[in-house]
């Protein structure tokens, strides 16, 4: 069994429940001692934009910003699909601390040796 977990998410503020749940799962996996990476695609790229998580929460009351703060404090990689971000006018300078642009090539390399959760 692998100790690596990659969580991919393609929704953002258009589905705050799923978006928050993905960040929550990344937090839980990290707390369970897993090597976690969070990969943001499509609309999820907005989640890495400064100031956007402030009002994103799940139906259960989990607050996306609080969960992301945990990931940032623990240096969990938050990878943002660069073509997806570029198509939405998001640049490297727009990203929250600890997030960085990435590509499908890196995603494929990560998932080849990981358990994958896709939301």
At 74-116, the pLDDT tens digits run: 999 999 999 999 999 999 999 999 999 999 999 999 999 998 9
Q: Is residue 12 part of a domain?
A: yes
Residue 1, pLDDT > 80, answer: no
Q: Judge whether 44 and 15 are in contact, CB under 8 Å.
A: no
Number of other residues whose CB lies within 10 A of the CB of residue 35? 16
Q: Is residue 68 part of a domain?
A: yes
At 52-82, the pLDDT tens digits run: 988 898 989 899 999 999 999 999 999 999 9
CATH number at residue 108: 3.40.1260.10
Total count of domains within the chain = 1
Domain that holds residue 100: 4-113
Q: Is residue 16 part of a domain?
A: yes
Q: Is residue 118 part of a domain?
A: no
At 5-14, the pLDDT tens digits run: 999 999 999 9
Check residue 119 and give its pLDDT: 83
Selection from 15, 27, 34 nearest residue 110 by Cα: 34
Selection from 38, 27, 17 nearest residue 80 by Cα: 38
Check residue 2 and give its pLDDT: 80
At 14-39, the pLDDT tens digits run: 999 999 999 999 999 999 999 999 99
Check residue 42 and give its pLDDT: 97
Q: Is residue 119 part of a domain?
A: no
Check residue 55 and give its pLDDT: 84
Check residue 48 and give its pLDDT: 96
């Amino acid at each position: 069994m692998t100790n690596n977990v990659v969580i991919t998410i393609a929704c953002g503020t258009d589905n705050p429940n799923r978006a928050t749940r993905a960040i929550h799962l990344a937090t839980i996996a990290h707390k369970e001692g897993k090597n976690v990476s969070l990969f943001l695609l499509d609309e999820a790229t907005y989640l890495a934009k400064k100031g956007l998580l402030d009002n994103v929460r799940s139906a259960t009351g989990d607050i996306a910003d609080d969960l992301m703060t945990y990931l940032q404090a623990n240096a969990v990689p938050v990878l943002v699909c660069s073509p997806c971000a570029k198509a939405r006018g998001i640049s490297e300078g727009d990203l929250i601390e600890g997030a960085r642009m990435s590509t499908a090539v890196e995603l494929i390399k990560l998932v080849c040796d990981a358990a994958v959760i896709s939301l």
